[in-house]
Amino acid sequence: MTMRNQGGYDEGYKFCPCFWGSEPGSYVQKLLTKLSGCTDLLVLDAGCGEGKNAAFLSKMGARVQAVDISGVALAHARILHSDVDVEWMEGDISDCLLAAQYDVVISYGLYHCLPSMAHILALHERLASSTKAGGYHVICSFNDRDHDLSAHPGFEPCLLPHKFYVDLYQDWHVEALSDETLHEEHPHNKIPHHHSLTRILARKPL
At residue 64, the 3 state secondary structure works out as strand
- For position 136 contacting ligand SAM by CB under 6 A, the verdict is no
Q: Which residues contact 187 (CB under 8 A, 6 or more apart)?
A: 12, 15, 16, 19
Residue in 65, 70, 143, 198 binding ligand SAM, rule: CB under 6 A: 70
The smaller minimum CB distance to ligand SAM, of residues 24 and 135, is found at: 24
Residue in 43, 44, 48, 120 binding ligand SAM, rule: CB under 6 A: 48
- For position 175 contacting ligand SAM by CB under 6 A, the verdict is no
Q: Which residues contact 71 (CB under 8 A, 6 or more apart)?
A: 90
Nearest to 117 by CA among 86, 159, 76, 54: 159
Residue in 62, 73, 197, 201 binding ligand SAM, rule: CB under 6 A: 73
- For position 24 contacting ligand SAM by CB under 6 A, the verdict is no
- For position 198 contacting ligand SAM by CB under 6 A, the verdict is no
Nearest to 168 by CA among 196, 198, 197: 198
- For position 139 contacting ligand SAM by CB under 6 A, the verdict is no
Residue in 38, 64, 93, 127 binding ligand SAM, rule: CB under 6 A: 93
- For position 47 contacting ligand SAM by CB under 6 A, the verdict is yes
Please name every residue paired with 69 in a beta bridge, in sequence order, or none if there are none: none
- Letter string b/e over residues 77-100, b meaning 16 or more CB atoms within 10 A of that residue's CB: beebbeebebebeeeebeebebee
How would DSSP label each residue in 33-54? HH-S--TT-EEEEET-TT-HHH
Residues 50-69 that bind ligand SAM (CB under 6 A): 52-53, 67-69
- For position 26 contacting ligand SAM by CB under 6 A, the verdict is no
Query: Which chain residues interact with ligand SAM by CB under 6 A?
Result: 6-7, 9, 20, 25, 47-49, 52-53, 67-70, 73, 92-94, 108-110, 113
